[in-house]
Amino acid sequence: MAAVATTGSAGGPGAAGRRPLELGAPSARSLLVTVLGEFVLPAGGWVWTGTLVGVLGVLGIEAGAARQALARSAADGWLVSERTGRRTRWRLTEAAATELAAGAERIYGFGATPAATGTDQWLLLFVSVPEDQRQLRHKLRTRLAWAGFGMLARGAWLSPDPDRETEARRVLAELGLLGQATSFVARFGAIGEVRDLVARAWDLEDLRGRYERFVAHFESVQPQPPAEVLAAQIELVHAWRRFPFLDPGLPPELLSAAASPGWVGLRAAALFHRLHADWAEPAARCWAELASSG
């Protein structure tokens, strides 16, 4: 089953400055994207209006808000509508399908294996953005954070993985900032402490709290009827998809006190992958029944 897209924006799939839709309280639009990636894409890329409105209704989204989310997604280049008699069905655009498929690798690969221990080299990125271009700075901050970078100071970014330079270059190119950026690959020197550096770049205590809330909630979820399993599966993926944006995947020794007595992110990842596997078959069966009836 494909994963939800990791990114999206009002500018449509692949637009420069796209931002993860999982931030903040669930909205009709963000839940719709979750459903599109989790069920519509692997089922062939099209779905009836009634199916989407019904499923979003189970998740607490009113019909009017669901239809508005469909219209906005179409306007942003994610969906194309097709009339069949009195009914309307929606088809994923090629760009949306590509974006959703790309999200699968990030979402389901994240947390599947423990982070490598140790880091001999760090990637430093310096980007100059004019003071009056606040929207551009926001886009840069959002995109680099999604790529696992921590911000040391305004215009200074850090990653424990030098291989992230390729992704950083793509972000900078899409935002038109390659000419204002410089990167370095370096080792940590004798001045200062690595853990203090990490604490400045990433809010690990906040991340730990988010993981703990994820675990506390989904450990207690025990859906029984197929419709409940379908809703739980959507909620599970929707909640999990934010973590690749928030968690830079630091080596265990860099997690410091946040990892004591053990990094809860590992437990959260194990829970996500177990529940997703357990719920996949009944959720897919329920979706197929709803999709066939429209």
Q: For the domain 122-186, what is the CATH code?
A: 3.30.70.240
CA dihedral over 244, 245, 246, 252, signed as positive or negative: positive
Q: Give the 3-state secondary structure of residue 219.
A: coil
Distances (CA, A) of 246 to 96, 145, 207: 23, 7, 7
pTM: 0.79
Q: What pLDDT does residue 21 have?
A: 35
Q: Which of 253, 254, 241, 251 is nearest to 214 (CA)?
A: 241
Q: How confident is the model at residue 74 (pLDDT cuts 50, 70, 90)?
A: very high
Select the highest-mean-pLDDT range: 130-134, 212-216, 241-245: 212-216
Q: For the domain 28-109, what is the CATH code?
A: 1.10.10.10
Residue 199 CA to residue 270 CA, distance in Å, equals 25
Residue 239 CA to residue 24 CA, distance in Å, equals 10
Sheet hosting strand 46-48, strand order edge to edge: 46-48, 87-92, 79-84
pLDDT tens string 99-126: 888 877 778 888 766 565 566 789 999 9
What phi, psi does 28 have (nearest 5°)?
-60, -40
pLDDT tens string 85-104: 888 999 999 999 998 888 77
Helix (H) or strand (E) holding 84: strand 79-84
